[in-house]
Structure 1
Amino acid sequence: MNKRTLRIIVIVLWVLFLGAAITIPSLFYMVKHDTNGWFGDLPSLQDLEKPDPDLSSELISADGVSLGKYYRKNRTPVTYEELSPELVNTLLVTEDIRFKKHSGIDLKGLLRAVIGKLTFQFNGGGSTITMQLAENLYSTSSANRGSLYKYSSVGQIITKLKEWIISVQLEQSYTKEEILAMYLNTVEYGSNSFGIKVAAKTFFNKLPSQLNYSEAALLVGAINAPTRYSPIMNPDNAMAKRTEVLYNLHKYGLLTRDTFDSLKTTDFGLTYLVDNHNEGLATYFRFVIRNFLLSWTKEHGYDLFEDGLKIYTTIDSRMQEYAEQAMKEHMDTLQSIFDDHWSTLKSNPWIDDNGNEIEGFIENAMKRTPQYRALVSNYGKESDSVEILLNKKKSMTVFSWDGEIDTVFSAYDSLRYYKKFLQAGFMAMDPKNGNIKAWVGGINHKYFKYDHVSQGKRQPGSTFKPFVYTVAIDNDYSPCYPVVDAPVTFAMPGQDPPTYTPDNASGKFSGEVMTIRQAMARSVNSITAFVMKQVKPETVIEYARRLGIESPLAPVPALALGAGGDVSLQEMLAAYSTFVNKGIYTKPFFISRIEDENGNVIQQFVPETREALNEETAYLMLHMLKGTTEETGGTGLSIDRELRMDNEIAAKTGTTQNASDGWFMGVTKDLAAGAWVGGDDRSIHFKYWAMGQGARTAMPIWEKFMLKIYADPTLGYQKGPFDKPLKPISVELDCDKYNDVLQPTDSLRFDLIDEDDIM
């Protein structure tokens, strides 16, 4: 190169330098003080001081375990101190090796990028980590675009100028460590993971502080193209990119050659699990309380999906896990029994009151599905296309207790398959403070969304009987009050037939004299009907309301047997808890407090309480309910002996007509829990009542759960008696003294059937 050529090059470079020295500050000024709308807005100083990326709101258990998140982008921030040195080093050698030396703009890197573009040779980008953060936080390439953006090349220059301006201001407002952490928190890594904390958990089930060089290289390599370099979707690309990043670590002296050669041949070591609302603990609980949280955040000016709230629940993760295990263990077995039962009968489980299969059941059920309504909306009700498409086979994955199954089903096949599954709900709560400790709304949230704890309502069967006896006890009846097991008839004016005489489950009346405690323990319908006739349905409803039953109830004689209205498991459990809580009703609640993203408490929640019963009545009802596990013929005597030993259990089974619904409510001195089991439709059940009774379908879930609870010393639950009232009990609890006095011929029942009642 001669001197003349060299002189020309020097002059050109000086001209470019001086031009840039004058032009760039001028452009900076024009962009920052744009009054004509040419360039678009820049973030304000306030926005720069408090960047606002979308942050997931997190549900946290009472024992500090994350139950799940609500998000548009699954992101949970971390601080610099929560990053491993290997992760930090990997990021710097990959994205910005001079990060700690520049003030937001790397002139050397920028010049390299410009020369590379002019010579059509890519030698690395000119964007620093701070500039990339500016884009991530403020969407500089897509948001606040001015009128000059209609010219593509001009728009690109303006975008870069904005990023330079924002980068300089970010560097003035934050430390290098804060900027680096903010960057890692705002990046997408693929598989619906935004931010390094979520990415580390998704791909490796680790915290960012635990990432090694190999893992960090995989995640950092995916930053600019998370799909292209996804180890799940494009493993070959991901492997090549990881090798490139690992080589940079070797190049800058952070890995020896031997270490590099070793790491580049290892597999990814993934522990891959994408966070979603169908996975993890308490899936039904998370979904159900979402509506409450949406309402609360709207009222208080927050966004549940973006504001990074910390929602502390009353759920105990250990108890929740035990509840889900108990549900799975029992329902898997019960479903096998159910399937074998109907396979032997060579029939489908949807049957009418006479035990015959309901014709057209699936066809009618299909008409209630969203899929059917959508097809009718598109093609018309009379179109052949509707039935053709509903019968068209296609590949799908379906639920089974042995794991998901890939199969080929039509819409009718799928509906027929799923209708044969028994459903269930389970809840446990602290009866003294209302804290819900475990909530299992169904058998599998991915395939069965409907919640059977609070949303689902069914007739409670005999679990309603204690409310009838509560009225009697509160009106001076003793648990030892004797009654004859004989028919009780109610007049039903204007109805056909004009009278109602409830049968016992056995279909027989023994004529035996028994106390009302024995009668409730054995779940004798005739004696509950006798008590109902004395106290009247309207009074029973009044007491049920006091105990927390809010669902509509009909003042009919059948209410004595739980056939006067549908109720939720949550309502029933709250009512039973009142007996343990000395007559104080405590509304079940599930959130203790909510904090903002900075840990400030926004709201503390306290339970709603009211006095429902006096202390003696509440204790006497516990004594009545203990009969289930103490009296001869009690429906809870089959509970595992390990649970009953050295323990007091107040319990009640319940089974509705035709065994459509099986219930069990069990209360100990410091824990109340209950279960419901049944089909999606009331017509789906065992053919024989005895097979579907609550003691067989629902009670085992409670039993398995409680065995796990007592076996875990970290929970602190111990067996023992119920607390007695401070004042002496005013009625006799030892009923044995009456056994030799009462005879079936005593005049105890002469007033049960009035002549006017018989027509």
Structure 2
Amino acid sequence: MSKSKPKIRKFNRIIRVSIIGISSSLLLFLLFFGSVYLGFWGKVQNKKDLANIQQSEASEILDHTGEIIDKLYKYNRQSISYSEIPKHLIQALIATEDARFYEHDGVDKYSLLRVFFKTILSGDKTSGGGSTITQQLVKNIYGRESYGIFSLPVNKLKESIVAKRIEDLYSKEEILELYLNTVPFSGNTYGIESAARLFFNKKTSELDLKESATLVGTLKANHSYNPRLFPERSQLRRDVVISQMEKYDYLTSREANKAMSEPIQLNISEKNTFQRQYFIDLVKDKAEKILSDYEKPDGTAYSIDEDGLQIYTTLDLDQQKLLENSVNNQIAHLQPLFEAEHGNTPPWKNEELLLKLAKKTKQYDSWKTQNLSSEQILDSLKTTRPIEIVKNGKSTVLQLSILDSLSHNLKQINAASLSIDPATGKILAYVGGADYRLSKFDIIENAERQVGSIFKPVVYASGLKHGLRPCDYISAKEVTYTNLDNWSPQNSSNEEKDPYLNYSLKYALTNSINTVSVKVLEKVGIQKTIRLAKSMGITSELVEQPSLALGTAELNMKELAKVYSSFANQSKVPELYFITKITSKTGETIAEFNAEPPQPSNLSPKQNRLLLAMLENVVNKGTAKRLRTTYGLTQNIAGKTGTTQNNKDGWFAAVTPKLVNISWVGHNNQSIGFKSTRLGQGANTALPIFGRLYQKMTKDSQFDSVTKAKFSKLSPQQEEAMDCVNEKRDGFFKRLFSDDDDEKKFDKKKEKEKKGFFERLFGKNKN
């Protein structure tokens, strides 16, 4: 037998095995492709779906005059047309991302096969890439889903199928326009226009070659090539883009060298709408809930991000800007004082606390899943890197560790402020936090904080309702309640008080006397006071404890806004609202809303007017008098300051005939407060927010209808009821027969006051 025959047979076997292997692989690929094409791995957009891409329009949020507050896109972006995109930017994109863009039909078939064979057959997870601009567009618009180990090949195949369909429907120019309007850039921006405005503070059409190349360079890795965080790395990447442009003859060598010889010069935009974002989020959430009850004429659901809707709101954008400015100024004033007051051992330098916070981060969880030791994690937490932070209201980049960043955020105080029309409940201005970049938590919508002395008007209102008068006198003497663990409420001043001194209710509220407030609550009864509070708009649970008189209740700012609106609105409580109408892009009304009729509280209008007069006295002569002395406000204004335990929350509630404002200043971490009442009291922290706001409104004639409005006049009987001296001292017989001891029991269940013979004779507890 010839020696060549075994070799021939062996060769034939190899050929057969190869053919079988290739055929099997091809069959496997075809089956896999077919399963994706037929939708076994999830929806693959058809041409009907894709035809609507270009028709997608942002919805607009409008203020009460129709002025645009913001636009809502699927992503936070600003769209532009192809004609506004510089030629050199298009060239940079194609040279870097898809050199054969004008030649292919949406898919680079060689890359597709490479991904399939290397990823599936060889298990090479690094073999991905090679997506065309059209495929990247599909990913930008529709995202990717997880399919375990098959995620990459499935998503790549879906993108290739959809990309070919897009190429059949759209021109190359339209595809480039769609891509550049949806692709994510550095700095959490979407679309070239948003990126151009953020990094260079100019329109896309104004970008020069170097700036265009810088932004295109970030597409490879948004974070790693962020020109603000990593300027040197970003410049190297920019030069790669310019070199690619030279390679594909978009630039001469001279032009390329000249461009690469110049450094990147950023001009970061500091346009501050970071307080407005709380309201925008609120509107979007509410609008989506409203629209879930409606369908478009074709039976499909409305999309707030794509259907070009108009959402009309009650917000006054001009007043909103003034309130934002006022909050900014107050935080800028307080922040350095707050930090200095904490000295050398502030909580934000407590490593134990910082580590506790670090353990709640996603990064910490990621390290734990990688089985890193505690020492390794701690080293990582202390490793510095460029981090963008907000300092004095502006973004800046510093070399910080994660612990440093947590420390920085922990020392930031926060503020929130809400203005409404007391007659209708319309929200006029809304600042849910000091800076959305620092914290996305909306204080107005979500927080319940101790309210301190701004709850006292409810207690005094209950007193008026149940027979007390502004000129009734109550002892200011501090008392220890033996049945309440020897609880002894004290006044803010530590000076020695005359034990026989009595204050009028008017004076006690004006100066926020704690001991009198507790005794008013005791006289009326806790349950009666709670019932009145509920009728005024408070929905949170109120614990039946005497400390309620001092504002230990934790309430939401919207509840407080309703209570104080009732004082301005003849004891009628409005329902708060902020969306008036939603229309389609062609102008048809989808949903419309009007103010609900305000509901009367349990306080009579006459009693309410007396209480309002007492709150006017707070501004004229009491804890809020700096509105007169510091801010020069002469209008009709009532209000109440509030400060909670350990100066953790500072409050001010302002009441004018046509505007109610509730302002709060504090810290997101409720274990941290101001060190002194001098700095942390509501009169110093929260009151100035309203003071500056109303000062600016007073100088602007467009707000005359608000700032020049007046409360109804007191009747002669009401003026007489308010006319009294502030304090009285017990006479000889009163001191002789009084049993107002230093210690007593607090009757929490008292609903009706029983008077004995000596009380009627000597006026015991009438004072």
Distance 2:514 2:491 in 1: 5
* Residue 629 of structure 1: aligned partner: 619
The 8 Å contact of residues 319 and 428 in structure 2, kept in 1 or not, is answered as: yes
Of residues 465, 470, 477, the one that matches 1:487 is: 477
* Residue 325 of structure 1: aligned partner: 325
1:635 counterpart letter in structure 2: T
The 8 Å contact of residues 67 and 281 in structure 1, kept in 2 or not, is answered as: no
* Residue 533 of structure 1: aligned partner: 522
Distance 2:513 2:36 in 1: 84
> Residue 666 of structure 1: SS of its match in structure 2?
strand
> Residue 719 of structure 2: SS of its match in structure 1?
coil
Give yes or no for the alignment of 1:502 onto 2:494.
Answer: no
Distance 1:746 1:573 in 2: 46
* Residue 524 of structure 1: aligned partner: 513
* Residue 298 of structure 2: aligned partner: none
The 8 Å contact of residues 239 and 260 in structure 2, kept in 1 or not, is answered as: no
Q: Which runs of 5+ in 1 are unaligned?
A: 1-35, 96-108, 118-130, 144-149, 249-261, 351-359
The 8 Å contact of residues 56 and 74 in structure 1, kept in 2 or not, is answered as: no
The 8 Å contact of residues 423 and 442 in structure 1, kept in 2 or not, is answered as: yes
Give yes or no for the alignment of 1:367 onto 2:356.
Answer: yes
Instruction: Report deviation, 1:523.
Output: 0.7
Give yes or no for the alignment of 1:406 onto 2:394.
Answer: no
1:457 counterpart letter in structure 2: E
* Residue 478 of structure 1: aligned partner: 469
> Residue 688 of structure 2: SS of its match in structure 1?
helix
Distance 1:141 1:724 in 2: 59
The 8 Å contact of residues 490 and 557 in structure 1, kept in 2 or not, is answered as: no
Distance 1:231 1:754 in 2: 71
Distance 2:221 2:401 in 1: 34
The 8 Å contact of residues 429 and 438 in structure 1, kept in 2 or not, is answered as: yes
> Residue 407 of structure 1: SS of its match in structure 2?
strand
Alpha carbons of 1:49 and 1:69: their partners in 2 closer, same or farther (altered >3 Å)?
A: closer
Instruction: Report deviation, 1:640.
Output: 4.6
Alpha carbons of 1:661 and 1:589: their partners in 2 closer, same or farther (altered >3 Å)?
A: same
- RMSD of aligned residue pairs (Cα, Å): 5.7
How many percent identity over aligned positions?
A: 25
Instruction: Report deviation, 1:336.
Output: 1.9
* Residue 98 of structure 1: aligned partner: none
Normalising by structure 1, we get a TM-score of: 0.68
Distance 1:52 1:190 in 2: 21
* Residue 685 of structure 1: aligned partner: 673
- Equivalences for residues 358-757 of structure 1 within 5 A: 363=352, 366-367=355-356, 370-371=359-360, 375=364, 379=368, 385-386=373-374, 389-390=377-378, 392-396=381-385, 397=387, 398-401=389-392, 403=394, 404=396, 406-409=398-401, 411=403, 413-479=404-470, 481-487=471-477, 489=479, 493=483, 495-497=484-486, 500-507=487-494, 508-510=496-498, 511-563=500-552, 565-608=553-596, 609-612=598-601, 613-631=603-621, 634-641=622-629, 643-716=631-704, 718-720=706-708, 722-724=710-712, 729=715, 731-734=717-720, 738-739=724-725, 743-745=729-731, 753=740, 757=744
Normalising by structure 2, we get a TM-score of: 0.67
2:453 counterpart letter in structure 1: S
* Residue 356 of structure 1: aligned partner: none
Instruction: Report deviation, 1:695.
Output: 1.2
- Equivalences for residues 57-72 of structure 1 within 5 A: 57-64=59-66, 66-72=68-74
Q: String of CA shifts for 1:641-666, please: whole Å, max 9, x gaps.
A: 47554311101111123322221111
Instruction: Report deviation, 1:340.
Output: 2.3
Alpha carbons of 1:338 and 1:193: their partners in 2 closer, same or farther (altered >3 Å)?
A: closer
Instruction: Report deviation, 1:596.
Output: 3.8
Q: String of CA shifts for 1:419-461, please: whole Å, max 9, x gaps.
A: 3333322222222222222222333322233333232222111
* Residue 10 of structure 1: aligned partner: none
Distance 2:88 2:586 in 1: 29
Q: Which runs of 5+ in 2 are unaligned?
A: 1-33, 94-101, 111-131, 145-152, 228-233, 252-257, 295-300, 747-767
The 8 Å contact of residues 697 and 707 in structure 2, kept in 1 or not, is answered as: no
The 8 Å contact of residues 75 and 185 in structure 1, kept in 2 or not, is answered as: no
Distance 2:289 2:320 in 1: 25
The 8 Å contact of residues 649 and 666 in structure 2, kept in 1 or not, is answered as: yes
* Residue 11 of structure 1: aligned partner: none
* Residue 121 of structure 1: aligned partner: none
Give yes or no for the alignment of 1:348 onto 2:346.
Answer: yes
Alpha carbons of 1:529 and 1:746: their partners in 2 closer, same or farther (altered >3 Å)?
A: farther
Instruction: Report deviation, 1:738.
Output: 3.9
1:73 counterpart letter in structure 2: Y
Size of the alignment, in residue pairs?
Answer: 645
Q: String of CA shifts for 1:308-347, please: whole Å, max 9, x gaps.
A: 444333333333332222222222222222222232xx54
Q: String of CA shifts for 1:592-626, please: whole Å, max 9, x gaps.
A: 33334444432223344322244333332221100
> Residue 567 of structure 2: SS of its match in structure 1?
helix
Moved more, 533-542 or 704-713: 704-713
> Residue 639 of structure 1: SS of its match in structure 2?
helix
